Amino acid sequence: MPNNITPNFSPKDIVNTIDEITKSGINQVEICVNGDDWDSVVKPLDIVEHELGRCMSVNSHINSVMYTDKFNTEYEKTLPIISKYYSEIASNKSLYKAYKRVSKTNLDSRQRHIIKDAIKGFELSGVALEGDKLKRLKKIKEELTLLSSKFSNNSLKATNEWKKIVTRQGLDGYGEEQLSKIKKGDDYELNLQVPVYIDLMTYASDDALREEVYKAYISRASEVGITSDKFNNFEVMKEILSLRHEMSELLGFKNYAELSIESKMVRSPEQVIDFLYDLVSRSKSQAIEELEELHSFSGKKLKPWDLMYYSEKLKEKNFGFHKSELTPYFAENNVLNGLFVTIERLYRVTITEINEESYHQDVRALEVTSNKGLVGRIYLDLYARDKKRGGAWMSDYQGLMSDSAPVAFVVCNLNSPGKNKPALFEFDEIVTIFHEFGHALHHILTKVPYPSAAGIIGVPWDGVELPSQYMEFFCYEKDVVDLMSCHWQTGKKLPEDLYDKLVMSKNFQSAMQMLRQCEFSLWDIKTHMSNEDTYNILYSVQKETSLMNRVDENRFLNTFGHIFGGGYAAGYFSYKWAEVLAADAYYFVDSDGGIGSEASKSFLTNILQIGGSLDFMDQYLKFKGSEPSVESLLISNGIDSQI
């Protein structure tokens, strides 16, 4: 079994550790600049990157899932050290020349692609800059790293700060399942964690309560005052956007969108905008019809805090079931077992839970094995809790190396078990689990032993969501649902009629959702093409994408972590483009035998195992044999593209 597979979840003296590794890395660079082949230039730096990546990853992970002010203080001290290290490497002209020398040697196809991407990375990171411009670029990168961390911390603290005690009488419309999540003694405590917030917006019949909680949620980390303004992110956002623009100009681009697009599959920001507006034009008529149906059903002029509540009521009327009828059939262990069996059938690997302590009692340690032995490990952290960043994500701890198997962290914020009751998942939450495991499989199943191109590393950002969104399709298949469903009290499978209703309801209001996602993506790309106030850009986009008037208190950008605390800046459109790829890939596999077929195996060998070691679109064409079609996305969403 490979060594170094268990992370140290109690890292000590992290500042000195990071400082020592980065100093060692700089010393290694000084040796590598004199090399002239893969083994003397790339391989030694891969070893340093592997060690540094492990330390950075576990530090970031603990800061996100077990937040404390004490650890965060130390964690933030490491960020400038890391930023300076990567800036030093990226601007090292001698190392750049060494990579250019390596590019002319005898390399295999994967190594050639990795070297090509590395050279491009040097050029996009300012290797040609000198003097004051280079110093300024390094300073900008350090500042952006700290600001991104500050944005995430403010969002977390603002979310955790708001709570409200209510009585049972104030929660009319709730079922016992929803009540059990918020029970506090004789009363009930509302908060802004996603599972609690979604329940309230969906089930609470009290209009005033929904309005209060909605406004608290959308005004987090802002100046509005419905929640505390001491974690206001607006100035942080402005500074991030300003620094990104300045950095882009230093690197010879007109704006950050152009810089971001340079490392993606698309050719220009304008192509992205055309793609998104095409989706808007194809979806808008149907979205208007969907909203008109909802208005008619509700019999009132709807406000944003009414949408989820009346949508659920309308969905129940149209399809003859309440989504809470599904949750008793989807207990945690059954869902995970169904997921693991599906993965085994897709990719011929087995996932087994092992007994290993980690950083929290909620965490499951999972080993992925094949008939050849250990493949990798996944640490699964499913439940929402205080001091844990919201949302769902996968992050890599380490990639494949000669002495190390891949390890990934999968994090969600879902319902936890109740008293004498297992965690019961809504189907949307199951989709989220499948999505994040798609990312994890991309990382774990790699056959690339180079840290710069293993798993998701080196994959263009507009392709990285393909494996995750591809996995989502399988959780609706009848055989998979049968594997996952078992009523936690009766032991019965999900009835046939409920399954049929679930599938029929899959694309309920999908055109409205399409407009919403296009709105986010258009705002993102346009805000990174302009110096205009980012909220003014949002309002401009909403004139073409939003079907309802905005609420004055809406400051949702102030907690938009994908853009200001994550890696999706000028790249949020990647979700939509990857949906095109995912739908196209799924329909191809489904038509050619489905789970376990040769087409399914081809997805493994040409996409998942290759990672970023070869041209992504070339690999897609090798897998499918033809270009992806936007029509596949529209079909999968039940949108009539002729409207």
436 is catalytic: yes
| 56 neighbors 18 (Cβ within 8 angstroms) | yes
Please name which of 17, 26, 146 lies closest in space to residue 80, comparing C-alpha atoms. Answer: 146
- What is the residue whose two structure tokens read 């992925």? 368
496-524 as b/e, with b when 16 or more CB fall inside 10 Å? Answer: eebbebbeebeebbbbbebbebbbbbbbb
- What is the residue whose two structure tokens read 């070339």? 618
Measured CA to CA in angstroms, residue 311 lies from 81, 302, 323 at distances of 49, 11, 11
- What is the residue whose two structure tokens read 């996602």? 517
Tokens for 245, please give them.
Answer: 């623009």
Interhelix angle 616-624/574-591, nearest 10 degrees: 20
- What is the residue whose two structure tokens read 């340093």? 48
State the alpha helices, DSSP H only, in 303-384: 307-319, 332-347
Among residues 49, 51, 429, 436, the one annotated as catalytic is 436
Tokens for 531, please give them.
Answer: 């110096």
Please name which of 525, 463, 53, 18 lies closest in space to residue 275, comparing C-alpha atoms. Answer: 525
Reduced to 3 states (helix: H, G, I; strand: E, B; else coil), residue 365 is strand
Reduced to 3 states (helix: H, G, I; strand: E, B; else coil), residue 401 is strand
- The phi, psi pair for 551, rounded to 5°, reads -95, 135
- What is the residue whose two structure tokens read 């340079």? 262
Measured CA to CA in angstroms, residue 259 lies from 177, 530, 614 at distances of 48, 13, 22
402-436 as b/e, with b when 16 or more CB fall inside 10 Å? Answer: eebbbbbbbbbbbbbeeeeebbbbbbebbbbbbbb
Catalytic residue numbers, as ranges: 436
